[in-house]
Amino acid sequence: MRLRSLLFVVLGAVVALPVQAEVTIDGHIDPAEWRGAQHIVDFRQTQPFTGKPGSQPTEAWVLSTPKGLAVAIRATQSPDIPRSRQQARRDESALVDRINVMVDFNGDGRVGYDFEVKSQGGVADEVITNESDFSYDWDGRWDHAVSEDADGYSVELLIPWYIAPMQKAHGDVRTIGLYLDRVVGSTGERMGWPTIAFDQGRFLSSFQRVELPAYSQSLVAVTPYLVGRVDRAHGGTSFEQGADILWKPNGQTQFTATINPDFGQVESDDLVVNFSPEETFFTDKRPFFSENQGIFDFSLLDDDSQLVYTRRVGGASDDGHGAADIAAAVKVNGSVGSTNYGILTAQEKGDAGRTFGAFRLSQNLGSQTFGMLATRVNHPYLDRDANVLGFDHRWQPNDVFSITSNVVGSRIDQPQADSSGLGATSIAYWQMDDTWSQQWLGMYFGRRLEIDDFGYLPRNDMTYLHWEVRRRVTGLPEDSAYSSHLWRYRISALDNTRGVTVHRRFRIQRDSRRRDGGNETWRLDAFTSAYDDLLTRGGNALHTPPTAKLTYERERPRVGRWAWEAEGFVKGNALSGYHRLGYYFKFTPTYFITDAFSVFTGASYEWDPNWLIWQHDNLVGAFDGRTIGIDSGVNWNIGNKQELRVKLQTLAVGAKLRRALEVTPTGGAVPSDESVDALGVANLGFQIRYRYEIAPLSDLYIVYNRGGYVDDTNDDLGSQFRQGFSLKDVNEGLVKIAYRLEF
């Protein structure tokens, strides 16, 4: 009897224990499902950055489950605040009602992931590196759902543990970095937890540390693809097939491979006409190279400069026969203890095919992080081996000060062209209080530093210093069109390594948040006289007079059926300074026929007097250049799984020659008798793209591409503009299907 009584007592106790219901991601926040979750209600105003409690009640629940990190957010919205009904395609940066869940799975401030859900169900996902650099290139596999009612909307997310490699948990507990916010589209107000902002020197490393029960998931995913292509420009039909493979055996290791990857144009780059000595930078949305690429982030802290620029792989072939084909590529990410590592290798096809390799290590030691990145590129066609080795270090002694530094060396082995070079960068940031902050930046890139075999660096041969002071202004009058301003005052100096002054600049910039939910930026750059040492590609440096440039940008979100963007500048020129000012203006209105169907028509015009274009040696042409551009299209978001997009871009350039000039050893520009032709350019990019999401990360694309580029001696802008619409260097249709199989 005693044993039976004891069994009844134990059974009764077990029955009486609270049962954790499994979270169902349906957009309806069921209290029973979220029992035991961490409940967060202290959302404060971070845009404008006042730190006051948010004007609209916001609640969040965070729960660790065996299937992933579950997050629910309830966004209450007053009836007097307009709600956005605009539909948005994946990764569209739309100014609408939305929430963000940002996670640093290791809690070390190195790499974060942003999961954004809009109130109408659209999503975006980004990788965060270097504190506040956001990249939309990555697309992850995660679940979400939204529901809406009279008082607001609710969002539920489930982020699988296999979505990113992460360090082994300490016992049964994992510590992550977490940031949550919601944005009111019609006003631009952002309410976040914790109270931090993107435009502070520290953002990612200031995420709230949260301890959660630790779980681990394994995954095997294979995504085969098939592409059928009809080439009407050159004739012929082709079929390509390949696959991406992802294997995550545990939480600490992730293996990614691609076989005969498809790099067909389902994502078109924006058109650019570039006659400058600096290369144009493009992002990379190819799935293999965007998947967990954050570990390889090694920024030289100069705009887009980095040691691993994946657009090099499959880029222009060394033998000059177009883009290179890639045979296969492999990537391994993982961690051992507190050390993170990444290995990347890729092989191009053919006798001229290059071999790319990168090896990355990162070690976190509390307030300090140390890292190393080594890359190697073998060019058999050029008999060239390019090796780069970099070390980076970040020190954050307290909550208001941080300093990030790196040192980079390169070695090139090539017959009659061996070289080695060094570079170093250091940037310090001091958040003095909620109003004032300062930044110091110093760079040195030697003349022989070469990282462009695998990396991207706009220029070497430079020393650079700047000091910037920032002042945040909030608490503006209620009748003001603005809710906040961020003023930036900067002085900078750039010389080449031989001591030639390249620029001395004073900059004033104001970034403003408007009460209509939009953004506005004014920037004035004033330059003293200096020398342009890149114009002649290693020849004589041109002496340039004092000049200035005033830039304006404005983005207004949808009001009624209209939204628009505008940008422009007025500037002097490198030959006559303030005499004969150039200007540029672009205006892009968008009309919403329905919440899901919109049409945009952008037009731009640029006048560039005394436009200097290098010819050869020290010879340059001074042109009066005019450029007309059209950037227009149609977006139809047919639910959250289908989209139809039409995109038309064209650029036409007519550059009338004023005179030919010879740059002298002292920096002067004297008339030359050498012949220089007038210049005209026609450039076209046209795409019709239909996308249907079969399942997460499984898509059907039907695409038509047409375009081309031509430059000649016809400087008539009108004829170049008309010629652009007849270009058919590319004239193809393709169908691509990729389906992800998970095991």
- CATH class of segment(s) 18-213: mainly beta
| 323, β-bridge pairs | 316
Q: What is the pLDDT of residue 201?
A: 84
Which residue has tokens 């066609």?
381
Average pLDDT over residues 595-612: 97
The residue type at 205: S
* pLDDT, tens only, 288-343: 888 888 899 999 977 889 999 999 999 999 999 988 999 999 999 999 988 999 99
What percent of the chain shows pLDDT beyond 70?
Answer: 97
In this prediction, residue 17 has a pLDDT band, given cuts at 50, 70 and 90, of very low
Q: What is the pLDDT of residue 12?
A: 41
What is d(CA 144, CA 293) in angstroms, rounded to the nearest whole number?
A: 23
What is d(CA 319, CA 317) in angstroms, rounded to the nearest whole number?
A: 5
Q: What is the pLDDT of residue 273?
A: 87
Average pLDDT over residues 714-726: 96
Q: What is the pLDDT of residue 264?
A: 57
Query: Is residue 613 helix, strand or coil?
Result: strand
* pLDDT, tens only, 170-180: 889 999 999 99
What is d(CA 159, CA 172) in angstroms, rounded to the nearest whole number?
A: 19
Dihedral over Cα of 48, 53, 55, 57: its sign:
positive
Average pLDDT over residues 217-224: 94
Which residue has tokens 């990168």?
358
| 375, β-bridge pairs | 358, 388
Could you say which DSSP state residue 67 is in?
T
What value, to the nearest 5°, has the Cα angle with vertex 284 and ends 278 and 285?
155
Q: What is the pLDDT of residue 268?
A: 77
- CA of residue 380 relative to chain centroid, distance: 32
Q: What is the pLDDT of residue 1?
A: 39
Burial of 521 (0-12, 13-18, 19+ CB in 10 A): middle
What is d(CA 495, CA 115) in angstroms, rounded to the nearest whole number?
A: 42
Query: Is the pLDDT assigned to residue 14 strictly greater than 90?
Result: no
Q: How far apart are the first and last CA of the chain?
A: 50
| Residue whose C-alpha is closest to residue 656's, from 618, 606, 611 | 611
In this prediction, residue 21 has a pLDDT band, given cuts at 50, 70 and 90, of low
The radius of gyration computed from the CA coordinates of the chain, to the nearest angstrom, equals 28
Q: What is the pLDDT of residue 20?
A: 53
Kind plus residue range of the DSSP H or E element containing 234: none
Under 8 Å between Cβ of 124 and 91: yes
Average pLDDT over residues 154-180: 94
Tally of CB atoms within 10 A around 270:
11
Q: Which sequence spans correspond to the domains of the chain?
A: 18-213, 547-693+710-726
* pLDDT, tens only, 82-132: 999 999 988 898 999 999 999 999 999 999 999 999 999 999 999 999 899
Q: What is the pLDDT of residue 291?
A: 85
Q: Higher model confidence: residue 688 or residue 250?
A: 688
Query: Is the pLDDT assigned to residue 526 strictly greater than 50?
Result: yes
What is d(CA 209, CA 206) in angstroms, rounded to the nearest whole number?
A: 9
The residue type at 470: R
Which residue has tokens 């961020």?
486
Sequence length of the chain is 743
Name the token pair of 224: 């085969």
What is d(CA 7, CA 5) in angstroms, rounded to the nearest whole number?
A: 5
Q: What is the pLDDT of residue 480?
A: 96
* pLDDT, tens only, 456-505: 999 999 999 999 999 999 999 999 999 999 999 999 999 999 999 999 99
Average pLDDT over residues 621-637: 97
Query: Is the pLDDT assigned to residue 18 strictly greater than 60?
Result: no
Q: What is the pLDDT of residue 6?
A: 37
Q: What is the pLDDT of residue 260?
A: 86
Task: Quote the pTM value.
Answer: 0.91
Q: What is the pLDDT of residue 410?
A: 98
What is d(CA 314, CA 352) in angstroms, rounded to the nearest whole number?
A: 12
Mean pLDDT over the full length of the chain: 93
Which residue has tokens 């974060």?
112
Ranges assigned E (strand) in 577-729: 577-592, 597-616, 619-638, 642-663, 669-671, 679-695, 698-712
What is d(CA 185, CA 202) in angstroms, rounded to the nearest whole number?
A: 25
In this prediction, residue 39 has a pLDDT band, given cuts at 50, 70 and 90, of very high
What is d(CA 117, CA 147) in angstroms, rounded to the nearest whole number?
A: 12
